[in-house]
Structure formats: structure tokens, C-alpha cells
Amino acid sequence: GENVEQHPSTLSVQEGDSAVIKCTYSDSASNYFPWYKQELGKGPQLIIDIRSNVGEKKDQRIAVTLNKTAKHFSLHITETQPEDSAVYFCAASLGIMTTDSWGKLQFGAGTQVVVTP
């Protein structure tokens, strides 16, 4: 089955600096890679996702890159703000095309991001 590793486990950045979180996956058939943000006391919420036919995707201050050959993908947050402080999870999935595995996300262990003013 799929195995997702996420690094680092904790990340402390100064406000305004960039933050990068990296994930690797094991199953080359995985084709959907979402990132979730979990604020204290809340459930995870999707912030950005990417599919295997795309190498990079941006949404304002966040971006995700995917290297299918190396089987790794990364989340980039630029101009970090205190409200970016949260736990971030990457995940990988075989996606919607595989009936048996549809929706089955394999999550990384999470990264605690702390943005200090």
C-alpha cells in the first residue's frame, strides 16, 4: 500500500519568511496529492491540491510542486503570517479512477508550523 513520509515534523519561521514542507510517497500509481491545514481544536481543511498531470500549482501565498520521477511533493508558503501557524498534513491517493481505492487518502504524520511575529 501507499506510504507517505513528511518532513520536518516541526517548523519555526519568522513572520514574512517562507516555509517549505516536503513529502515523499511510495506508490507510483498515486495521482492526487492534497494538503490539509489543521488549526487548533478544529478538523483538517483542504488548502490546495495537485494532480499528477501538473507539476506546480499556486494559490496566492501557497504553492505546491510535484516531482513524479522522484515521488515527492512540497508545500511552499511565502510571506508567512501568524495565522499560518497550524499543523499541515500532506496526503496521497490513487484518486477517483480506481473504484476500490476512491477517496482513500494516505496521510503524512503532519508538520507543526509556528510563525513568530
Partner 1 sequence: EAQVTQNPRYLITVTGKKLTVTCSQNMNHEYMSWYRQDPGLGLRQIYYSMNVEVTDKGDVPEGYKVSRKEKRNFPLILESPSPNQTSLYFCASSPREGSQETQYFGPGTRLLVL
Residues forming the site for partner 1 (CB under 8 A): 1, 4, 6, 9, 32, 34, 36, 41-46, 49, 89, 93, 95-96, 102-105, 107-110
Q: In whole angstroms, how close is the CB of 49 to partner 1 at the nearest point?
A: 7
- Give whichever of 43 and 117 is closer to partner 1, judged by the CB atom: 43
Q: In whole angstroms, how close is the CB of 39 to partner 1 at the nearest point?
A: 11
- Give whichever of 80 and 101 is closer to partner 1, judged by the CB atom: 101
Backbone phi, psi, residue 5, to 5°: -110, 140
Among the listed residues 115, 78, 102, 95, the one whose alpha carbon sits nearest the alpha carbon of residue 25? 95
- Give whichever of 65 and 112 is closer to partner 1, judged by the CB atom: 112
